[in-house]
Structure 1
């Protein structure tokens, strides 16, 4: 039985490119290969660990695209794991942003006098939110298996 994975394949390829590009820019800025003024420093900060996380998530999406290209049903599992990783790390960054918000405005901690919400709005967070929106809107298009079974 022929299955159509084109929607999920396109999503995986696009998300793989977005995540790897954002991750490589962050890593490049973090190790000094790119200048700090390259693109927006508030939306793509120099962050080595966060960039590596983005590259790993992007790699999962690239493996999904590769599996879809080989007409393997396992691409769906990789794509869903990629989406899950997006959401897990976006949640972690959101909780970190809430902690910074508490430190800045409720506890008035030293070093947070000039903190703004944009300082904690990292690529992992906004790409994760975008992933959740795209998945919620198109989740019926991502379902290749019919209701009758596989």
Structure 2
């Protein structure tokens, strides 16, 4: 019984740090995207390829970051509900990553296979947005840590 509590405590600690780190990253990148989108930051602040000025995309990232940070708060209270927030956060990360991957794939097809109007200057770097690369990283983390994200013991 004591060994199980130590293992659970270690897993909660690892998920706490993960939730805190991922929450800060998502909230920061989302906030920067929104600030660029409303023109409070110059367009050349960070390359538009790495951080495009998107208000809606930035708000989505900020909400995902808030879910992770709320999980961190729950963990700090000693509540096991933080595991559920970490699970929901990673699920949202992968879900929005998949959505942006589909958008990236559609743009790639438009540019390379269909030679659609408006895609003459499009490059794959144009479609590589924060939700996509954060979603891919989240998928890699989930794959490696799948047992830590189990809500039920």
- The verdict on a shared fold, with TM-score over 0.5 as the criterion, is yes
Structure 2: gaps of 5 or more residues? none
Q: Secondary structure at the match of 2:108?
A: helix
The equivalent residue for 1:24 is 31
The equivalent residue for 1:136 is 143
What's the C-alpha RMSD, in Å, of the aligned pairs?
1.7
1:68 matched to 2:75: yes
Higher share of residues assigned helix: 2
Task: Calculate the TM-score normalised by the size of structure 2.
Answer: 0.90
User: How far apart are residue 132 of structure 1 and its match?
Assistant: 1.0
Structure 1: gaps of 5 or more residues? none
Would you identify which runs of 4 or more consecutive aligned residues in structure 1 move more than 3 Å?
none
Render the CA deviation track for 1:106-147: whole Å, top value 9, x for unaligned: 11111100101110100000001111111212334x2688xx
Render the CA deviation track for 1:58-113: whole Å, top value 9, x for unaligned: 00000000000001111000100000000110000000011101111111111100
Q: Secondary structure at the match of 2:125?
A: helix
Q: Aligned residues, how many? A: 146
Task: Calculate the TM-score normalised by the size of structure 1.
Answer: 0.92
Structure-to-structure mapping, 1:80-99, within 5 angstroms: 80-99=87-106
1:13 matched to 2:20: yes
2:111–2:120: 8 Å Cα contact kept in structure 1?
yes
Counterparts of 2:49 and 2:149, CA distance in 1: 36
